[in-house]
Amino acid sequence: MIPITLANDINTDPGCYVQGGWGWKGSGHLIEQFCVGEEELTLAHDYMNGNMDQDGDVDFIYDVATEVENALNDVLPDDRIASWRDGEFFIMTYCGEAENCQDEECACQY
């Protein structure tokens, strides 16, 4: 399990945290922002600097990014959800009432 803590210096306001312009480095950028484990941070930096075996390590970085997403969702307040959308990573508001939701920025609309 990836250690995620919502300390005062970690922003979890709704918004885009990994923009599409990060391209293939997006998973590493996500790990940089939310991961507190030194091993994962080193792995993200190696990935973003092109210092990884493209056959095995790249799959591993995606697995770590998925773990970060899941861990983040475990600690976010109930009215927020973290998710990738069209190559970008967001923290969005989430009401949980998809059929009745009128908020255009709510994750229910996606």
Strand order from edge to edge, sheet including 80-85: 15-18, 88-93, 80-85
Does residue 87 surpass a pLDDT of 80? yes
Closest CA to 108 of 73, 74, 79: 79
9 in a structural domain: no
Would you state the pLDDT for residue 103? 75
Q: Is residue 7 part of a domain?
A: no
pLDDT for the residue numbered 8: 46
Decide if pLDDT at 66 tops 70: yes
The answer to whether position 36 is within a domain reads yes
Residues 76-88 have a mean pLDDT of 89
Q: Residue 61's pLDDT band (boundaries 50, 70, 90)?
A: confident
Whether residue 1 is contained in a domain is answered as no
Token pair 């059929």: residue: 99
Structural domain including 90 reads 15-109
